[in-house]
Amino acid sequence: MIAGAYKAAGFDEVILTPHSGDYGRDVIAIKYGLGSVRVIDQVKAYKPGHLVTADDVRALIGVLHGDGASKGFLTTTSDFAPRLKDDPLIAPFIPARLELTNGNKLMARLQELSKKR
């Protein structure tokens, strides 16, 4: 579903990685133009109440550096731990290099994309 959202948003190349051996990247999306933009998205399908931790986000920041992507997204069907955005190792990356998408924001984005079709 998330890979399809990148396609619908106009990305030129969208790769849905295999379940294992993905090196922390569930979706890789590339937009070509004057320069290319490479986005990685790590998706956490969690039940309500199962929160994404600061360690999960820090791990994605490491993947972002190793991959060389322009930007990273961590998308969850649930939510993020309280004060996570205040973490001194996470805060400098938001919003330019890292975007955190919780279940409510995800639903709003998917609804917006469905209206454009």
CB-based contact 41:75 (threshold 8 Å): yes
Question: Where do the domains of the chain lie, and which CATH numbers do they carry?
Answer: 2-108 (3.40.1350.10)
The better pLDDT of the pair 116, 66 is held by: 66
What string of DSSP letters covers 7-19? HHTT-SEEEE--S
pLDDT tens-digit map of 44-99: 999 988 999 999 999 999 999 999 999 999 999 999 999 999 999 999 999 999 99
Q: Looking at this protein, which amino acid is placed at residue 115?
A: K
Q: State the pLDDT confidence band at 117, using cuts at 50, 70 and 90.
A: low
